[in-house]
Amino acid sequence: MNRYFLYVIFFLCIFSPSISYAHFSINCRAKHTLHHDNLIIIAFYHFILTKDRGIISVNGKLSYEGVETIIGRSVYFDYSIVGEDNYVSKTFKVIKIPSDNTPDEIMEQHYPLFFTQKNKTLLINIKKNSLDSYLISFVRTPLFYCAKS
């Protein structure tokens, strides 16, 4: 009986942290509307985070000085968690869909470089709000209410 008990304790000590970590994931969506001077952005965000990687997909429209463009890109990143809610993220790939015709120069005026270039870092704050929603914010952005997908 003691030997069996020791095996169970050993198994739990070795594998339980990785088992609980493997089940970590965030998969949620948010809508964002920004009015800033003569610019309007209406976009949907899809946040996906797994063990140590993530994707933020942005799809929407940007209107600047009367010209409307399409935003459609996915930002792939690695991250590490600092503290309880801070995710230090670094892009390794930014993919624009063919219909994304928003110039990066305009995006960079209203988004961190994280959304336009690889090897850029961004501190993302994520707080679980309930069983199926999160509050997400970046350094220079408002809070996103992100409902589970």
Is residue 12 pLDDT above 70, yes or no? no
- Segment 7-14 shows an average pLDDT of 38
What is the distance between the alpha carbons of residues 30 and 55, in angstroms, rounded to a whole number? 14
Reported as a single tens digit per residue, the pLDDT across 49-105 is: 998 999 999 999 999 988 999 999 999 999 999 988 899 999 999 999 999 999 999
Q: Which range among 25-34, 102-111, 118-127, 135-144 shows the weakest confidence by mean pLDDT? A: 135-144
| Long-range contact pairs involving 54-60 (C-beta distance under 8 Å, separation at least 24) | 54/26, 54/78, 54/79, 54/87, 54/89, 56/115, 58/115, 60/32
The DSSP output letter for 66 is T
